[in-house]
Amino acid sequence: MAMRALNPFIEVRPYNRKLDEGNAAALVAEYDLVLDGTDDFDTRFLVNRACVAAGVPLISGAITQWEGQVSLFDPAHGAPCYACVFPVKPARGLVPTCAEAGVAAPLPGIIGGIMAMEAVKHLTGAGETLAGRLMIHDALYAETRVIGVKRRADCAVCGEGLSRAGAAGPTA
Ligand SMILES: [Zn+2]
């Protein structure tokens, strides 16, 4: 396998099954850190819920045709979760997936490389990670900016108390 040829010291575990509500929590709980580069919002929200429930930090990388984003979501240590920053899934068809719209060929490598760098920093404690910050790389204009992102107390995934308030609902 190509990855083992590059580095014989790693262990590669392929999972030949679809990630779903039934298996996500157990899978995520086996690891210290999760990197998500999936291409649909249902999976992103599912991975985030599983990571928050297990207290496992999540490095999330996303790309559209010319632009990419990376952050480290870690509400167990004060940083927001994915749903704090992106609380609502876009309506189906509103944001085209890479499979639908295409993506500039080098962009997955650029964003994937940044995600790998964040993983190395998180695991070694070196430097300052993107926890609490969202990096946005605009490849078309060669511009990168980093914005601060915060936990939301009313986050439906990692917030406290809001699910109770929501559960009360209107009275008849
Ligand atoms: Zn949250």
Q: What is the largest CA-CA distance in the chain?
A: 65
| Fold entry, domain 28-161 | Rossmann fold (3.40.50)
For residue 161, the model assigns a pLDDT of: 58
Whole-number Å distance, alpha carbon 150 to ligand 1 midpoint, is: 9
> Is the predicted pLDDT of residue 92 greater than 90, yes or no?
no
Q: Is the pLDDT of residue 97 over 50?
A: yes
CA 68 to centroid of ligand 1, rounded, Å: 21
Residue 101 is predicted with a pLDDT of 81
Ligand 1 centre distance from Cα of residue 52 (Å): 8
pTM of the model: 0.88
Q: Write the CB contacts of 55 (distance below 8 Å, at least 6 apart in sequence).
A: 76
CA 97 to ligand 1 centroid distance, Å: 23
Asked if 130 and 68 count as a contact pair (C-beta separation under 8 A), the reply is no
Q: pLDDT for 29-73, tens place per residue?
A: 999 999 999 988 999 999 999 999 999 999 999 999 999 999 999
CA 75 to ligand 1 center in whole angstroms: 7
107 C-alpha to ligand 1 centroid (Å): 27
Residue 59 β-bridge partners = 35, 72
42-54 pLDDT, tens per residue?
Answer: 999 999 999 999 9
